A and B are shown apart, each in its own frame.
Chain A
């Protein structure tokens, strides 16, 4: 039981490049989330999903897209990366909105 895994762990992009972050969970959770963490700001919700095939915007969705084609996977895409998207990205999953399990994070730097 791996819990929540994230790929890759680190990435450096140039402004304007695109990339996809992969989140996978093996706990059969319905809910999945993408957060970004910046110093002194806690975690801010980017997008979330309440089940396979569904997605919804969170607090800071601009510049990101997501897809949930399979229940166990939640992808976060950056179509044209900007330096303001330099951050640590965390994926989480849960059975209900309460009590989320977090992945180890992806550290992204945009130059």
Chain B
């Protein structure tokens, strides 16, 4: 069985500070991992994905995430936060042989940016 845990339902950082959103996964087979962003009153937008190639994945808007198998983690980072980064972020997991139903989303982390 697969699962995703996002640590911290709300994270607040100052503009220009490092953003770190934590995601840990559980999977009995090699996973595919994703980060999605949701701006207020909008759908989810794919930020980046890991599909068993490079462990450091770069996404849109300056975000990146590193797959660490030993820690079962896929944390999302951005070196310098911008006000426009305020949104909710979702981590998700599936695997290459998954049926369509086996995509599991975390409960989300709301990112706030302080001026």
A-B contact count (CB 8 A): 63
> Whole-angstrom distance from the CB of B43 to the nearest CB of chain A?
4
Q: In the complex, what distance in Å separates the CA atom of A40 from the CA atom of B9? A: 8
B51 touches A97 (CB 8 A): no
A97 touches B102 (CB 8 A): yes
B residues less than 8 Å from A56 (CB atoms) = 100-101
A40 and B34 contact, Cβ closer than 8 Å, known pairs A90-B44, A102-B43: no
> Whole-angstrom distance from the CB of A110 to the nearest CB of chain B?
19
Q: Tell me if A50 counts as interface (CB < 8 A to partner B).
A: yes
A99 touches B49 (CB 8 A): yes
**What are 28 A-B pairs with beta-carbon distances under 8 A?**
A33-B100, A40-B108, A41-B107, A42-B90, A42-B105, A42-B106, A42-B108, A43-B44, A43-B90, A44-B105, A45-B101, A48-B100, A56-B100, A56-B101, A57-B101, A90-B44, A97-B98, A98-B34, A98-B49, A98-B51, A98-B98, A99-B46, A100-B44, A100-B46, A101-B46, A104-B43, A105-B41, A105-B42
Residue among A31, A50, A97, A100 having the largest count of chain B Cβ atoms under 10 Å = A97
Q: Tell me if B28 counts as interface (CB < 8 A to partner A).
A: no
> Whole-angstrom distance from the CB of A60 to the nearest CB of chain B?
11
Checking B45, B51, B107 against A40 with a beta-carbon cut-off of 8 angstroms, the contacting residue is: B107
**Contact pattern, B 16-36, Cβ under 8 Å of A = 1, otherwise 0:** 000000000000000010101
Q: In the complex, what distance in Å separates the CA atom of A43 from the CA atom of B107? A: 7
Q: Tell me if A77 counts as interface (CB < 8 A to partner B).
A: no
A residues less than 8 Å from B45 (CB atoms) = 102
Q: Tell me if B94 counts as interface (CB < 8 A to partner A).
A: yes
Rank and list the top 6 A-B pairs by shortest CB-CB distance, nearest first: A102-B43, A42-B105, A102-B44, A42-B107, A43-B105, A48-B100
